Amino acid sequence: MRGEIMNTEVDSKITDSEWEVMRVVWAQDNVTSKEIRKVLEQKKNWKPATTKTFIGRLVKKGMLHTETEGNKYVYSTNITENEFIKSTLNETFDNICNKDVGKTIVDLISKSTLSFQDIDRLEKVLEMKKKDAVEEVPCTCVPGQCNCKDDNCSSKH
């Protein structure tokens, strides 16, 4: 943490395909192109050239760093998978009315497989949340993109 600003927001947009590449890098920390290609040839049936394209684009975007080793590169990243996931989900939730976030998370939990420990942690964070829970979540949607403001909208949420 040598004095850099710790920016939580991952600004780079990446595509689904690029995400596949990133997952290999996150899982292995320092990887060669060959290792990435092997994994994704398995999973996605990508030709080596295809994977190379995505790697190249990620380097150009600054998501991957390269360290020369002989004639090849070893790839790595300084963006953590967790930060990236949070950032991606944030963007999705930007498209959802704040009032609906709770229900959306309920749905999410419903269809997920969770461990006892997960449930424990979730209960704990909910306990914390009670401290700053509100009576009614304020809607910040623009008028016309949500019917919260029509009346008090309680029937809808």
Partner DNA sequence: CAAAATCGATTACAGTTGTAAACTAATGTT
Partner DNA sequence: AACATTAGTTTACAACTGTAATCGATTTTG
Whole-number minimum distance, CB 103 to its own copies, in Å?
7
27 vs 152 by CB, closer to its own copies? 27
**3-class SS of residue 148:** coil
Q: Which residues bind DNA (CB under 7 A)?
A: 13-18, 32-34, 37, 44-50, 52-57, 59, 66, 70-73
Q: Which residue in the block uniquely carries the two structure tokens 């623009």?
A: 142
Residues 24, 40 contacting (CB under 8 angstroms) = yes
Residue 72 binds its own copies (CB under 8 A):
no
60 vs 130 by CB, closer to its own copies? 130
Strand order in the sheet with 31-32: 31-32, 72-76, 65-69
31 vs 148 by CB, closer to DNA? 31
End-to-end CA distance of the chain: 43
Strand partners, 69: 72
Binding residues for its own copies, rule CB under 8 A, total 65
Residues 29, 35 contacting (CB under 8 angstroms) = no
Q: Where on the chain is the footprint of its own copies (CB under 8 A)?
A: 16, 19-20, 23-24, 27-28, 35, 38-39, 42-43, 82, 85-86, 88-90, 92-93, 95-96, 98, 100-119, 121-123, 125-126, 128-130, 132-138, 141-147
